[in-house]
Amino acid sequence: MSIKRSKCRIVTVAFLLIVGILSSTKTYSFSGMWEDREWPNSNPATNGCAKDAIVLGENQIFSKWKSPIGKIRLLFSPKCQVAWALTINESKLPQGKYDPYIVTMSASVKVPTMVCQHTWLSYGGAMEREWSPNCPVTKGKITAHGSIITHQKLYTYPYLDTVDNSAEVEVDTSVLNSLILACPLSVTENTSSAGICSVNAYYTDITSKYRTSKTVTPSWSSNNSGLTISSNGNISTKDMLRDTDVTVTATYNERGKTVQNSAIIRVKDVLGPVLSDSTGMDPQGTTCEKDATTVASKKGLYGTLELRWSNICKTNWARILSNLTSYKTEVNIERSSDKRNYSYSNKGNIWTKMVYAPNNIRVCASGKINGESFSSICR
């Protein structure tokens, strides 16, 4: 078949056939570059969809000599909710009525349910742009394919070839949107496996019509060192002096987008809350014992007398540490402000009940181990 030259360009449109596409996939093309039809097979340049177009991705088209000759661009219209491919010829080939070559350009966009494509042949001159028809966007991946083919006709030019110089750009329409945390409302203190926090990342596509999710592994932080979360979501807790609310934050990054969300977990103090006046209570059954320190002591032949202090509870109590559990022991605590005192006797290690003594109220302890008496020690 021969092609006759003319002073005017003769434009012929050929349809691409996509091979290997599933039978459920539809293929659309349009018959003219400037026809105005309803999508999915209309021209975005004339139907108004190009007015608010955004570029989802772009890739360079190279010749077989590795020199750039054009671009393939994937565009999307939020108003029309459609995508299309744009092939741009940047090869700067000479133009004129005696140009001895043919330029073929194609543009196609593939969405999960269909392919929208167009091919353009130009005799005796190089085209600059080629659009595909519109394709309605659904969730999933969108692929734009563009090619620029030059066909030698009479003479040999080193920059012309018949290779399909093409490129693709692929975009996943799913956009990371938010995190949803599933954590226990409360956990107990001093536990290496107190519970599990799981995180789901939620995605919306560029059309804002679809919402999907998947379980992800974020990085964790908390505002209290008494609770930590490992990479697999395991919660560990340390000793708490009271019931404490801890804020934990999950941070997740995907393809340059970072999202965060937080949750509040209460770490429960299993020994009970701090009391404003713990006078007369056994320190072993309260939070007061947790931060207790020995503020005065005296060592004898058979053991040690100690005066204990809780800064959290503002209380004192006396304790005997006996060298042998068989030794008879006695211990006493007295608050000087009102002479409130508690005594206890038994064998081995023993302690008194607490007296509330804030604001530097004087408190003294005394005791006896195996018949040996201790003089008072005071705070």
Residues 158 and 179 reside in one and the same domain: no
Q: Which of 268, 301, 326 represents a domain boundary (last residue)?
A: 268
Q: Give the structural domain span for 254.
A: 175-268
The two structure tokens encoding residue 293:
């320190």
Q: Given this model, what pLDDT does residue 167 score?
A: 79
**Can you give the CATH number for the domain in which 370 is found?**
2.60.40
Q: Given this model, what pLDDT does residue 148 score?
A: 76
Residues 105 and 232 reside in one and the same domain: no
Sheet holding 234-237, edge to edge: 195-196, 234-237, 227-229
Q: Given this model, what pLDDT does residue 134 score?
A: 80
What averages of pLDDT result for each successive group of 10 residues across the chain (379 residues)? 32 29 34 36 74 84 79 83 82 51 72 77 61 75 78 46 66 81 93 94 72 89 95 91 90 88 91 68 85 94 95 92 96 93 96 91 95 94
Residues 165 and 241 reside in one and the same domain: no
Residues 262 and 322 reside in one and the same domain: no
Q: Is residue 3 part of a domain?
A: no
The two structure tokens encoding residue 55:
């570029």
**E strand or H helix at 307, and its extent?**
strand 303-310
First to last CA, the chain: 114
Residues 61 and 159 reside in one and the same domain: yes
The answer to whether the CB of 251 falls within 8 A of the CB of 221 is yes
Residue among 113, 108, 88, 94 at smallest CA distance from 173: 113
Q: Is residue 278 part of a domain?
A: no
Residues 51 and 153 reside in one and the same domain: yes
CB atoms within 10 A of CB 372: 13
pTM > 0.85? no
Residues 224 and 301 reside in one and the same domain: no
Residues 206 and 154 reside in one and the same domain: no
Residues 135 and 16 reside in one and the same domain: yes
Peptide bond into 184 cis (omega under 30): no
Q: Given this model, what pLDDT does residue 346 score?
A: 96
Q: Is residue 110 part of a domain?
A: yes
Q: Which of 156, 172, 188 represents a domain boundary (last residue)?
A: 172
Q: Is residue 209 part of a domain?
A: yes
Q: Is residue 1 part of a domain?
A: no
The total number of structural domains that make up the chain: 3
Residues 97 and 157 reside in one and the same domain: yes
Q: Given this model, what pLDDT does residue 92 score?
A: 61
Q: Which of 268, 302, 334 represents a domain boundary (last residue)?
A: 268
pLDDT per position as a tens digit, 6-49 = 333 323 323 222 223 223 334 333 333 323 334 455 677 777 78
